Structure 1
Amino acid sequence: MRATLPGRVAPGPLTDDGPVTTRQPRSARDLSLDELGADPQLLLTWDRDHVWHPYASMTRPGPALPVVSASGVRLRLADGTELIDATSSWWTAIHGYRHPVLDAALAAQAARLPHVMFGGLTHAPAVKLARLLVEITPEPLRHVFFADSGSVAVEVAIKMALQYWQSRGRPAKSRLLTVLGGYHGDTFAAMSVCDPVNGMHQLFSRVLPRQVFAPRPPAGFEAPLDEAYLAELTRLVEAHRDELAAVILEPVVQNAGGMNVYHPGYLRRLRELCDEHGVLLIADEIATGFGRTGELFACGHADVAPDILCVGKAMTAGYLTLAATLCTAEVAEGICAAEPGLLMHGPTYMANALAAAVGVASVELLLDGPWRRRVADLDRWLRAGLAPAAALPGVADVRVLGAIGVLETHAPVDVTAVQRVAIEHGVWLRPFGRLIYTMPPYVLDEAGTAAVTGAMVAAAHTLPAPPG
C-alpha cells in the first residue's frame, strides 16, 4: 500500500490536495491508544488540531505520516506502507527498532524501578552508565551530570564553564567562542552558540548572549589545512582570551547546521590554543558520539580530549530521552571550590532509571558488537551509492564520513517533493535547507543502504540546475 498525506483523500503520497475526510472527533477518554492508532483519520484530525510538531506551523501544519509500529530498520505506517528509516529517528536508533536486548532491559527496569528523584537518592542504572561513559570517553573526563536532552546537556556544559571561572575569581570570562555553521540545540544558551546568520534562531538574536564567532571551518576531512584559517583561529582566541570561558564546537562534523565535514587538524589546533590561553574546550558530541563518524567519539579523529563533553542521542538508542555532560576533575573541583560549592542545575527527570537502564544496554550492545566494521561498511556503501549524484546539475557536493551521507544542493530543497520521491522508493528521509542526507542505523545492510542511496539520488534528479 502507498502512503498518502494523513487525514486526506489524496492522489499520491505527501500531497496537500484534497479535503479532510474524517468523522466527528470523540473524547480522548472514549477510546484506547490501540483504537486511536487503528483510526488514522481521527488520529490525524486530533494531531492537526492539537499537536505542535517540531519546526512547524500550528496554523498551517505540514504533512505527518502516522506510524503504528517499527522493527529493525523499518517504520510501518497506518496504511501498511513500510519505509526504511534513513535518519535513525534524528540520529538516535543506531541498533534499529525493537532490538530484543533493549526491549528486555526496558521491561526489566520497569518491573523494578521506573523513576526516582535523583536529589539525595541514586540507583544502579545511573551509576553503571556513568562509569561506562567515563571508561569509554577520552581521558581525563571523570565526572558525569545527566540531563534530559542534548540541548540541556549543552546548557549544563555552558553553566559548568561559567561557574568554573566564577569560582576561580575570573567572572569576566563569561563569553564563548564557536564557529559559524554550528548547531547546539534550541534552549536559550545553546541558541547563542548556533550560527547567528544561517541558523534557526535569528528571531531571538536580540536577546541572546553575544558570543564570539570564528568562520566556518574549511570543508574537507582530508583537505590540506588552511594556514590562513588557523591564523584566524589563533587571532580570535588571543584577542578574546580574557573574556572567553570556553570554546564550544561539534568535532569534525557540523551536523544540523549544514553537515560540514572538516579536517581534524582544526580541532587539534583549538585544543592547543585553549591550553595556551587558559580557555576551556567543550566538545558537543550529541550527534557524533557512539561511533557515527567511524571513531567512538569524533574527538578521536584529532586525538584530543575536551574539558567538557556533551553526549546523547544514540546513547539510549532512540528509546527514551537522556543525555550527559562529562567534565574533568579540574573543572569539577574548580566549580566546587567556591560558594555555593555546587553545580546549580537539577532536572526533575535527571538520570531517569528507565532511560539509564536502556543506555547501559545500548552502550554495551555497541561495544560488544562489530560497530567499527559496520560503520566502515556503511561508509563504503554510501560512497558508492551516492557517487552518481556528483554529476547531477542540482547537486553542489557529495560527502560521506562514517555512517553519514550528504548531498548538498545548489538551492533549498522542497522537503515535501523529496519525501514523495523517497517514499516511492520505500525510504523515509528528512531533508532540510540545501541538504538531502542520511544517518542510518548501523544495522542497515548493503541492500538497505542501496535503497537509501537510490532514493537520495532519485530525489536529486528532480532538482533544478543553478541559474546561469
Structure 2
Amino acid sequence: MTPLEFDARHLWHPYTHVLEPGPMHLITGAEGVWLTRADGVRMIDAMSSWWCTVHGHRHPAIIDAMQKQLNTLPHVMFGGLTHEPAVELGRRLVDLLPDGLDRIFYSDSGSVAIEVALKMAVQYQIANGRGERSEFATIRGGYHGDTWKAMSVCDPVNGMHGLFRGALSIQHFLPRPHIQFGREWPDNPSANGLESLEALLNDKGNRIAALILEPVVQGAGGMYFYHPAWLRGARALCDAHDVLLIFDEIATGFGRSGEMFAMDHAGVVPDILCLGKALTGGHITLAATIATEAVAHGIGESEAGVLMHGPTYMANPLACSAGVASLDQLQQRNWKQEVASISQQMKTELAPARNLPGVADVRVLGAIGVIEMEERVDPSIAHGLAAETGVWLRPFARNIYCMPPYVISPDELSRVTSAMLALAGGQK
C-alpha cells in the first residue's frame, strides 16, 4: 500500500469527507514559499500553511534556534519549573504589546488559548462577586477554534460547528458589524451597529462574563473586514457594564492585517488577548493568552488563587525558542513594507475578478486577499489544479483567498493571484 493509499484508507484530514477525501498531495519538503511533492512538483504555499509560516518554511534562523534548543532541553513541565526560552519570549511579547497586557499564559494551540481566555473571564467575574456571569457575547461570522467551549462562540448558523449547536452552551450572538473597513463611520449607534451590543448589555449584561471577537478581520468565519471604530464603541460599552473584552488575534497577530496586531487599527486594548499561529513563524505549535494586571490580580486574590488550567506542553522550550527567533525576524526585517507591497500588488492583480460572473466581492487587507463568490466554491477543484498552476490554494465556503508568507516575491505573488483568478473564472 502506497503512502497515499494508506492515507486515504486510515487517516482523517480536517474538514474533509471521511470516505471520499478527494485529491491529496504527498509533501516531502518545504522551503521558503515552496512545497515539494513526492513526484518533484513544486507549489507555492499561498495559505502560509493555514496562516502561520509568515517567514516562509524552514527559515534558517528559526531552524537553528530549534536545533540548539533540541540539544539542550526539548521539553520540561512548566509546573514549578521555568526556563530561559519561556522567559525571553515573555520579555519580547511584553515589549511588543500595548501597555497593560503583561500576564502571559502559554498553551499549545490557538483553540486552547481561547479556552483559557474564557476560563480567565469566568474566574475573574467570580473573584469580583459576580459568579452569575458565566455566559459570553460575540458577533456572528466569527471563528475561535474547534475545542468544545471555543465552538460555542463560533457562528452557530453559518460557521463550521452548526452540527453541534444543540449540544453546546448557548451564548449571545450579535449581528456582525456591517460597516466595512475603509467605509465612512456613522457616529449614530443605530446606524453603526453598536445599538445591538448596548441593548444586549443593558438587558443581559449581569449574566455575561466577556465579549469575545476577532478584531477587524474575521478569518475562517468568512474573511470579512469590518470598521475598527466598532471596537472603540465596544470597549466603552464593556467598561460601562463590567464585561471583559477578549480579542482573538490568533490569525491576525504579527503583521497579517498590515499592523502588528489588528487591534492597532482601532487603538483599543482588550482585557485578554489570544495569540498563536505566526507566533513561532509556523515552525511548531505554540499559543499564548495574555491578560491585564487587573484580570491577573482579580484571579490571584480570589479564593482559588490559581487559574485552573495547565497543559502538558505549556511553554514547551522548543516552541518558545522558535517564538523568540520568529520575533527576531519581525524586528530585523521591514515586515510592514513587505506586507504593504503584497497588499498593493494584490489590490491591483485581483481587481479584474470584479468583472467575472459569479463574483460577489473582492477585498484586500494587509497580506490577505479574497475573492468572494456568490455560490459555494468546491475546494476539490483547487486541490486538483494545484500541481497544474503551481499554487496551493484551499478555498472554503464562498471564498477563494490567499494569505501568503511575507517573504513571497512579486513574481511568485503574481502566480498566486493568477491562480485565484483562474479558479474564480472556472466556477460553475
| Bin of the TM-score, shorter chain as denominator length | over 0.9
Correspondence for 2:173: 213
In the alignment, is the contact (CA less than 8 A) between 1:422 and 1:459 conserved in 2? no
Q: Unmatched 5+ residue regions in structure 1?
A: 1-24, 26-41
Give the Å deviation of 1:57.
2.9
Q: Unmatched 5+ residue regions in structure 2?
A: none
Partner SS for 1:242: helix
- CA RMSD between the two structures: 1.1
User: Which amino acid in the other structure matches residue 148 of structure 2?
Assistant: F
2:22 to 62, 68, 81: 62
In the alignment, is the contact (CA less than 8 A) between 2:23 and 2:383 conserved in 1? no
Greater Rg, structure 1 or structure 2?
Answer: 1
Give the Å deviation of 1:233.
2.2
Correspondence for 2:324: 360
Correspondence for 2:94: 134
Give the Å deviation of 1:421.
3.5
User: Which amino acid in the other structure matches residue 62 of structure 2?
Assistant: L
Greater relative contact order (CA < 8 Å, ≥ 6 in sequence): 2
Correspondence for 1:264: 228
Partner SS for 1:68: strand
Partner SS for 1:282: strand
Correspondence for 1:448: 412
Note the alpha carbon deviations across 1:46-73, whole angstroms, 9 max, x for none.
2122211111233222222000001110
Cα distance in structure 2, aligned partners of 1:264 and 1:313: 22
Correspondence for 1:185: 145
2:76 to 116, 119, 127: 116
**Residues 1:423 and 2:387 are matched in the alignment:** yes
Cα distance in structure 2, aligned partners of 1:321 and 1:219: 34
Which segment is superposed worse, 330-339 or 306-315? 330-339
Cα distance in structure 2, aligned partners of 1:138 and 1:281: 15
Partner SS for 1:247: strand
In the alignment, is the contact (CA less than 8 A) between 2:300 and 2:306 conserved in 1? yes
In the alignment, is the contact (CA less than 8 A) between 1:422 and 1:456 conserved in 2? no
Correspondence for 2:57: 97
Cα distance in structure 1, aligned partners of 2:185 and 2:114: 28
2:260 to 289, 296, 301: 296
CA gap of 1:398–1:219, structure 2 versus 1, over 3 A, is: farther
Give the Å deviation of 1:149.
0.3
Correspondence for 1:405: 369
Partner SS for 1:393: coil
User: Which amino acid in the other structure matches residue 64 of structure 1?
Assistant: M
**Residues 1:306 and 2:306 are matched in the alignment:** no
Note the alpha carbon deviations across 1:387-410, whole angstroms, 9 max, x for none.
000111111000000000000000
Note the alpha carbon deviations across 1:93-152, whole angstroms, 9 max, x for none.
000011110110011000110000111110000111111111111221110000110000
2:156 to 187, 196, 212: 196
Partner SS for 1:97: coil
Give the Å deviation of 1:422.
4.3
In the alignment, is the contact (CA less than 8 A) between 2:346 and 2:364 conserved in 1? yes
| Correspondence list, 1:153-192, <5 A | 153-192=113-152
| Correspondence list, 1:305-344, <5 A | 305-344=269-308
Give the Å deviation of 1:245.
0.5
Which segment is superposed worse, 222-231 or 110-119? 222-231
Identity of aligned residues (%): 54
**Residues 1:371 and 2:335 are matched in the alignment:** yes
Partner SS for 1:245: strand
Note the alpha carbon deviations across 1:322-373, whole angstroms, 9 max, x for none.
0000000100010111221100000011111101100110011112210000
User: Which amino acid in the other structure matches residue 266 of structure 2?
Assistant: A
User: Which amino acid in the other structure matches residue 263 of structure 1?
Assistant: H
TM, length-normalised to structure 2: 0.97
